[in-house]
Amino acid sequence: MNLHIDLMLDSERRNAALFNPKSIIRMGAAVAITGVALLIATAWVRAGQSKQALEVLRSRWRTLDTRHQQLKKQSADTLALLEYADEFARWRETRYAWSRGLAQLARTVPEHLVVQSFTTNSRVLKEGNDWCREFTVDFGCRTSIEGDPDGVVKAFQLALMALPGAHGEPAVLGYHPEGRGSDGHPTHMVFTMHYTFRSEMPK
């Protein structure tokens, strides 16, 4: 009869197997808990970073929004003031520098021609996208019948056409002899030179 005496206490018992299932379970549990804890910690850290980045964005937005609101208010003011600026600019644009224009026209009058009257009128025109002012000038003229009155008229016409902005050929209206000399013949020719020119509005 074989006698098997087991004097070991339960706490002293060790599993003789290479892998103790209990230890594996404990280790697995520890690894799992550590893993989960790590994951949660990472998530917390990332959430914190995200919160921080968000706070930076919020702060940037607050600064930008304040400036944007101020500028929007100023922009409305700018647009309103631009309307007034346009209104004043239109005043300037409707002007024509008559001091220069008149001197220029006076220089075109040929010798042997007397300008007895000068009247102007103007209107605003739009050509494509450009605005301009069209002037009509009527010169009341007189030239001696001696010499070459036709040549004088032609010279005046050509001089006017050579001016900047001249529009079309100046028209000679009412060309007729006038006056009576001692011999009973007319002494001079009178006519009206109708001239049109265009002046570009300043941009």
Partner 1 sequence: MKGDEPVDRKKLIILLLIGGVFLFYVGRQYVVRPIVAGRAAAAKERAALEKNIREAETSIRLIEQTRRNAADQMVALARDVLTGDYALVPRHNNYQIVAEEGVHRWCEEAGVVLTRFQGGRPESVPTSARRTTPVALRAYRGQVTIACSLADTIRLIKVIEDNNPLAAISRLSISAQPADPECHNVSFSVQWPTWSNEEIEASLKQRVRKYMDIPEKRAS
The CB-of-85 to partner 1 minimum distance in angstroms stands at 4
User: What residue has token string 């009206």?
Assistant: 192
C-beta separation of 109 from 156 below 8 A: yes
Is 61 a residue that touches partner 1 (CB under 8 A)? yes
Stretch that binds partner 1, among 110-118, 155-163, 180-188, 194-202 (CB under 8 A): 110-118
CB atoms within 10 A of CB 28: 10
Integer Cα distance of 105 and 119 in angstroms? 12
Return the residues of window 10-29 that contact partner 1 according to CB under 8 A: 10, 13, 22
Question: Stretches 94-102, 161-169, 170-178, 195-203: which one binds partner 1 (CB under 8 A)?
Answer: 94-102
Asked if residue 36 binds partner 1 (CB under 8 A), the reply is yes
Structure tokens of 132?
């301009």
CA distance 90 to 110: 36
Q: With contacts defined by CB under 8 A, how many residues of the chain interact with partner 1? A: 59
Is residue 83 near partner 1 by the rule CB under 8 A? Answer: yes
Binding of partner 1 by 80 (CB under 8 A):
yes
In degrees, rounded to 5, the angle at the alpha carbon of residue 129 between the alpha carbons of residues 125 and 135 is 20
Question: Which residue lies nearer to partner 1 by CB, 3 or 9?
Answer: 9
The answer to whether the CB of 172 falls within 8 A of the CB of 110 is no
Smallest separation (angstroms) from partner 1 to the CB of 89: 7
